[in-house]
Structure 1
Amino acid sequence: MNKTSEANSRLRELRIKHGLLAYFEIKWNKISPAKVDFYLDVVDYFFDDDDLEFRTVVAGKEFLDHEHFDQTHDDWYYKMMFPLIRNVLPSPGQAFIYLDKKDTRGGEKVRKLHEVIANSFYDFDRRSIRRLQIVEYHHVALLQLSDLLLSGVNYANRGLNSSSAKRRVLN
């Protein structure tokens, strides 16, 4: 069983263990007192599995000067993907990279990001960076896990404190 299948299987097992449907969507805004034990198990699974990694960029929007760099916020978003992805790719090997669908116009930016990352590895024929594509995260359990972690980082960095269940998951 490959690592992706193993992770998907484990997340499915956790859902079932907690009486949820096998394909229950893991999502930050679904954390509640009734589901907190499930989310605690999901976070524990992430930290216990040495094959899983998470990286993010934290930036205060008030400090970004898009006009100075002649870019939109979306342009900046895709530029930040470069160091997040490039610095964790296995070398040599074959990488399949999936990004959450941000909007309906991301296709061209993702193609450019694929080109830039592949070129940085001298992978001009795309043998190492096989695929970089947009998917809808609710169909991909590992993206749901990533989104859960990202939302937790966002919640903590914004100083939010409105939910005791979410605070437990953060702790």
Structure 2
Amino acid sequence: MSSRNIPSSDVKPSPKPDIVNVHTLSMFVANKPGVLGRVCAVFSRRGFNIDSLVVSQGRDPRYSRMTVGISGHPEGLSQIILQCRKLIDVIHCFEHTDRDSVVKEMVLIKLLVSADHRTEVLQIVEHFNGKTVDLQEQSMIVMISGNSDKVDAAVNLLAKFEIIETVRTGKVVMARGTAET
């Protein structure tokens, strides 16, 4: 048998391209220690990455609202939702789309800006309906909110100036109309 017929162990087949979708889930959970850890374990076991996470106490302090931005293979999403619903402290879990809900994010951007460039920065911030939340002699902090694409576009335009740091919230979501979030 010639060595040309023996597959080499150091040659790996080309990987299949990953099909990854981004999803937004809203969960209503009991406000108890350990709930977040159990929910995160469900995503981890299924190979989904948590891209953003917002948790806040509801109007009733016994419950919290979780908004989870996740990415992973689309075929596992329905199984994740079912497994989350089975968790003892999860009251409900829904997927939301742009069609059935309002989804927003917020970013704070600290820029090193001289007086010469301040007007240009303020014009960009105004274009995105943002606002200045701190103004110093050599720096400023601006706040911009909106959907993920809008926030990304604002950060990209402001990147031509010296960005010192950014802090970005995760997605928050609310169902349109009278539907439950």
Normalising by the smaller structure, the TM-score range is under 0.3
- Give the structure-1-normalised TM-score: 0.28
Question: In terms of Rg, which structure is larger?
Answer: 2
Q: Relative contact order (alpha carbons < 8 A, sep ≥ 6): 1 or 2 greater?
A: 1
Q: Please, what TM-score do these two structures have when normalized by structure 2?
A: 0.27
Q: Which one has a larger percent helix, Structure 1 or Structure 2?
A: 1
Of Structure 1 and Structure 2, which has the larger fraction of its residues in strand? Answer: 2
